[in-house]
């Protein structure tokens, strides 16, 4: 599915360099707060997002204030089931994704999207993130209702108008047809494998950037 994480050291280093360039560039042009957002009322809502390898995306949102649970899984495909082996073939149409459970009174859907676009992944990459290639690594927002769709579409227009990225955002906005939880060994992967080379190079820097650039949304786990 992904390249060998030890043997493909050069690819991983290249991905790290890309991340450094991205965070440096967007640090000069920080993402704006979303103008269109949900009402911050107490409760429990879910968001499903795909941004490349779910290990790092999951880890980022587990450190976001107001998030109570993050599950790695698969979404966006035509098949009525999804497993690691099936999705890695690239033939099911699914994308590696995370399902985020959160309290809108502490963090809104729009703020989750700000984290998603600013530190969780690169939304200008089509069917790839860092060393990972394929449609299963595409950038995607799977909306559960019309309000989520409206917020996502408005925020992408707002980011594009702000000129934050030199390239256009290619994130798909599609209805959530189903979410399939990934195998147990994918869950909480980063805290269980903190010294793995792939994690150190590709995912740990995202947590550093979350705390540095969005301290008002960051929390220690």
Q: Where are the alpha helices (DSSP H) in the chain?
A: 9-28, 54-61, 84-88, 109-115, 146-162, 189-192, 197-198, 204-213
Give CA–CA dist 118/22, Å, rounded.
Answer: 9
Residues in Cβ contact with 4 at an 8 Å cutoff, skipping those fewer than 6 apart: none
The one catalytic residue in 12, 22, 31, 53 is 53
User: How far apart, in whole angstroms, are the C-alpha atoms of residue 115 and residue 123?
Assistant: 12
53 as an active site residue: the answer is yes
Q: Number of helices (H) and strands (E) in the chain: give both, helices first.
A: 8, 8
- Strands 139-143 and 172-175 come out as parallel
List the catalytic residues. 53
């Amino acid at each position: 599915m992904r390249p060998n994480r030890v043997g493909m050291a050069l690819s991983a280093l290249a991905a790290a360099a890309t991340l450094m360039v991205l965070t440096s560039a967007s640090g000069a042009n920080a993402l704006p707060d979303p103008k269109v957002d949900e009402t911050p009322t107490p409760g429990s809502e879910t968001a499903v997002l795909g941004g490349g390898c779910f290990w790092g995306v999951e880890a980022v949102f587990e450190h976001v204030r107001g998030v109570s649970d993050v599950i790695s899984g698969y979404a966006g495909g035509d098949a009525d089931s999804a497993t690691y082996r099936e999705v890695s073939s690239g033939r099911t149409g699914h994308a590696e994704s995370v399902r985020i459970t959160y309290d809108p009174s502490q963090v809104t859907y729009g703020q989750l999207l700000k984290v998603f676009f600013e530190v969780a992944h690169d939304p200008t990459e089509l069917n790839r993130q860092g060393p990972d290639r394929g449609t299963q690594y595409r950038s995607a927002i799977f909306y559960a209702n019309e309000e989520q769709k409206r917020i996502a579409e408005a925020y992408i227009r707002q980011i594009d108008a702000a000129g934050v990225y030199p390239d256009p955002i290619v994130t798909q906005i599609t209805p959530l047809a189903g979410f399939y939880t990934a195998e147990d060994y994918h869950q909480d992967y980063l805290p269980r494998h903190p010294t793995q080379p792939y994690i150190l190079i590709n995912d740990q820097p995202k947590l550093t950037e979350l705390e540095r650039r969005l301290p008002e949304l960051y929390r220690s786990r």
